[in-house]
Structures are given as structure tokens and as C-alpha cells.
Amino acid sequence: MARPIRTIAVVSRYAHSFGLLSRAKQDKLIAQERFFKADAFHPRLHTHSLKGSLKGLWSYRVDRRYRVLFEFTGADSVLYHDVGDHDVYR
């Protein structure tokens, strides 16, 4: 069953990290975000929950290297925490 996302809020860290991405990476993220909004668990996103110190957060794939870290704040709303390569997990 699809889980559409209607509202995406961001923290300042995400906004800063997004601004540091190349224009090509920003465009790729925006393209992936369309799939995310239609269904947070679309297969191409590889959405999964995180463990350890990041428990409560989720991640979806922008491409093979980059990820978006987020949390569900409601049935159809999320809060983006960060975007970047695998270092965002640290």
C-alpha cells in the first residue's frame, strides 16, 4: 500500500547540506523526491529505518552514494534532517 507524503519540513542542517550539493545532485534529489511524495516506500528509493544512535530516523536513496535522512512526523508528513553521502549516518 502506497504511503503518500503531503508535507515535507526541513531543519537548518538539511537546508545547509542541500546547498552544498552540486546542481546535478540537487536535481537528482528533486527527481527522487517526486517518487517519495507519491509513495515514501517506492522500491527505487530503498527506504529503510535506521538503528543505533539514529533510531527513529529513516533514510531513502538519492543515488548509490547519497541519502536523505528524515523522520515521519505524521501519517503524511516528514521532517528532513540531512542529505549527503554515507557520512550523514555519523
Give the separation between CA 9 and CA 66, rounded to whole angstroms: 19
Q: Of 38, 39, 61, which Cα lies nearest the Cα of 48? A: 61
Put simply, whether the predicted model's pTM sits higher than 0.85 gets the answer yes
What is the pLDDT at residue 89?
81
Residue 7 pLDDT greater than 90, yes or no: yes
Look at domain 7-82 and name its CATH class. alpha beta
pLDDT recorded at residue 46:
97
pLDDT higher than threshold 90 for residue 48? yes
Nearby residues of 83 by Cβ (< 8 Å), 6 or more positions away:
14, 17, 18, 21, 29, 62, 66, 67, 68, 69
